[in-house]
Structure 1
Amino acid sequence: MESELKFTLKEDASFREIMNEPIILDHLLLTGNMSYAMRSSYFDTADQLLRQRRGSLRIRRSNERFYLTLKLPSHNNALYNTGVFERQEWEFELNDEDRHWDMKTGINPTWFLNRILAETDYKESADPDLVQILRVIEGRSLYEVCLADYTRTSYPYSYRSSRFELCFDEGYLGTAEYVKQFSEIELELLTGNREDLFYLKNDFLAKLPVISATKSKYDQAIEIADLYRR
């Protein structure tokens, strides 16, 4: 399960300004940071079976490593409307052999589940929602429908009883032909109490020049793709 907060910057605000605020500086676990060149390509069938089910399939390049991620809606849909993004998520790193996979041949459910089994516990990999969506798209050709190309700077962050990954993302969303620029702050809950997300959200909104984001990168990118798909 993925649980995170997303914020956009108010007009004239900057990452540099925000980094100097106590709600950031006083909670960083280390003074250092890590920067990544990220490119997320989102795939779907020709008739958008994943989108119809509010899911997404992503291949993300992070520097020189590649990850395949499948996301589905959380059963607790109310959280999404509060600015807390919570989704079911399954992810594994693609090895050298996997990178030669032709997306037009579709996904083999057995291959996907076996890869997940190697990195997570059996209960999570055998989730009925996961098995069902894999069967729905089994063998169906997959096509890139939108993308996000950006730089991520991340910090380990502690708040109350929880630990987060604090990320500053800046780049472009859309398609290979049409993009828009974006800046976003993301905090992913790594360990701790999910309720801390709500306290942290309120603190950020009260103390920083930010606004709660209402759409994921995929949601924003696919909207741009829709505008030019005609």
Structure 2
Amino acid sequence: MNSSRPTQKDAYALILEAIDVGVYKPGDRLVESDLAERFGVSRTPIREALQRLETQSLLERDGRSLIVASLDHNQMAELYMVRRELEGLAARLAARHATEEEVKVLREMVETDNALVGNPTELAKANRRFHEQIHLASHNRYLVQQLDLVHRTMALMATTSLAAEGRGEIAQNEHDGIVAAIAARDEDAAAEALKEHISVAFMTRLKQDAKKRIKS
């Protein structure tokens, strides 16, 4: 008889989504019994999901407790370096392999997302969808898997660079340029445009962190 009880995979996805949308932030303690009650999942799949998240470095030990991991300056720099190169490769492959329908979807996403400028939270969600669409347009499953892990780790950053003043509009203009290069089948231009986009986002985040340090 089939059981409707959520599996370990379901528990993993539920916890991961909660971290991604900010329900659980870096430093928050995750308690097995609380998670089981919150998500209506038995403790065994919750325990297995927590172990998986710890293996992926999305959770870390604080004594006997598991907390949502946080990234220090060096870890953030390493993450952005890897993301820049992988995203650039995705754009290059998208310029080579994307179907006309996929290019059209990317164009429509940019146009739709322009309405979200000024709403950093929603724009951040749209930004992730846009990047994931480029990943899929690369038509390389292994690259998609690696970028998925990178973007999950990005959730460990408590704020979005799109919250910086003026960044939303600039990012949208950058997205427009990336799509134009992909549509033109210019692999070099697409790769460079996306890599520059990630570099600017990283510099924006560095400035945000610098301001926080001054205030504190």
User: Which has a greater percent of helix?
Assistant: 2
Q: Flag the structure with more relative contact order, 1 or 2, with Cα contacts below 8 A and sequence separation at least 6.
A: 1
Question: For the superposition of Structure 1 and Structure 2, which TM-score range results when normalised by the shorter chain?
Answer: under 0.3
TM-score of the superposed pair, with normalisation by structure 2: 0.28
